[in-house]
Copies of this chain bind each other. A is one copy, B any other.
């Protein structure tokens, strides 16, 4: 199996941000950029605050290759969305990595 490349964003939004609307914009952006192979996200419901540290959402975009990720990173629709996103967040962690599939689904 080819190594997928992943773009992970963990975020805490500022108070008062309309998160639902921002999520819709993000889903639209991901759907419109062809090099995004798949996109999933989630809102924490289980972690302890000590471990969550205020972060509430995880966003994971998956690419066929590092080159596809680079095409996404520089895509005007991504750049435009990132500008909006950065004004909405209180804090963020971003990791970009080739995924190692240590235990494949059965």
Contacts and interface: CB of A to CB of B under 8 A. Distances in A.
Interface of A: 6, 8, 10, 26-27, 30-31, 36-48, 51-53, 55-58, 60, 62, 66, 69, 92-106
Given A6-B42, A8-B58, A27 B102 contact: yes
Nearest to A26: B102
B40 A93 contact: no
Number of copies: 2
Contacts of A51: 92-94
Contact of A53 (B57, B93, B100): B93
Contacts of A103: 27, 30-31, 36, 38-40
A58 to B, nearest CB: 5
